[in-house]
Chains A and B, each alone.
Chain A
C-alpha cells in the first residue's frame, strides 16, 4: 500500500503564508491522484477544504488554495487566521483505493 507523507507540524504567524505538502511513496503526485485536503479541529468532524487538487467547496475560505508543487500536492494558506490552527490531512486516490496522509498540525502563533 502506498504511503502518503505530510509534515508533522508547521507554524505560521497570524497574517502569514504557509504551504503544507503531501508526497506519495509511489512517485510524483499528479491530478490523477485527485488530491483532497481536510481540516479538523479538536472534537469536530473533518471538513473538506479542497478536492481534485484545487477545487474549493462553497464553505472553503478564499485564503486556502490547492495545487501541485514539485511533485507533491500542496495546500497554501495566505493570510493565516487564529481559527486556522488545526490538523490538516490530505487524501490521495490510488486506482480506486484511497490513502490518507498522517496529518499536519498547523500552529498559528
Chain B
C-alpha cells in the first residue's frame, strides 16, 4: 500500500534552515509527482508546489519561491522540502502529498528564539 512517511518535528531558531523528508513506499516513486502543503496553526491548507519526480523540476506556488526548495533522492524514494532563513511565520505543519491524494503524516516545524 502507498505510504508517505515524513521526518519528525523540528524546533529551529529564526534564520536557521530545516530539511523535511518524505519517504515513499508501495509504488514506483518516479511515476507520480510529489506535492507539498503547509498548514499554519489554526489555519487552512496552502499548496506550496510540487516536484516532478522524473526530471527533478520543481514548481512553486506564489509565496513559496526563494527560501523554499523541493528536491529528491530517487535512490531512496524520498522527497525533501528545505526552508532557509526561517521566520516565526514559517511555524506550521508541512505535508507531502501524492496525487491522487495520499498524505504524509505531517511534520511540525516550530520557529522560535
* Chain A residues with a Cβ under 8 A of chain B: 1, 36, 38, 40, 45-48, 51-52, 55, 57, 87, 89, 91, 96-103
Contact = CB atoms under 8 A, between A and B. Distances in A.
Contacts of A45: 95, 103-106
Contacts of B37: 100
A85 to B, nearest CB: 17
Interface residues of B, number: 19
A interface, by DSSP: helix, strand, loop or mixed?
strand
Interface of B: 35, 37, 44-47, 50, 59, 61-62, 95, 99-106
B46 A46 contact: no
A91 B48 CA distance: 13
Contacts of A47: 103
Contacts of A101: 44
